[in-house]
Amino acid sequence: MATGTIHKGKVLLWNNSSPTTAFAGQNISVSTVGYDQVQIVFMMNRTTYVCYSLIMDIGTPSTDEKTYAVNTFMNFDASSALLVVRRNAEAYSSYVLFGDCKKKTTTATSAATVDNNYLIPLQIYGIRYQL
């Protein structure tokens, strides 16, 4: 497959070279031109290879912003409290923007705190439905 050639189906656009490292909010430079949507695969945390997937539309900054979020709920110790973690993502023609990951237990009365050791992006795919 030639570089830059768009094919029907799913094509890997980016792969995280450090998936066991905390992932702070940032822009990942990747071209999504010619794709209908992007798929982002997330790892639960730096040591648990449970994956979550988010498929999202591609927007235009300032005119067509589309913010999506991946959320997960966990109960590691069989307590009544659940750990809730959330990371926002936005896809545009030349980059994908990730927010910081925020976590909070369901019994906490304080606001969520940033913890970038959760929902680490592993891969970004471009999806094209028609030729």
pLDDT tens digits, one per residue of 24-39: 999 999 999 999 999 9
- Determine the Cα–Cα distance for residues 78 and 93; give it in Å rounded to an integer: 43
pLDDT band at 2 (very low <50, low <70, confident <90, very high): very low
At 95, is the secondary structure helix, strand, or coil? strand
Residue 67 Cα distances to 83, 93, 99, angstroms: 22, 14, 10
Global pTM exceeds 0.95: no
Query: How far is it, in rounded angstroms, from Cα 44 to Cα 115?
Result: 12
**Whether 83 contacts 112, CB under 8 Å:** no
3-state helix, strand, coil in the chain (%, to 5): 0, 50, 50
Domain layout of the chain by residue ranges: 9-128
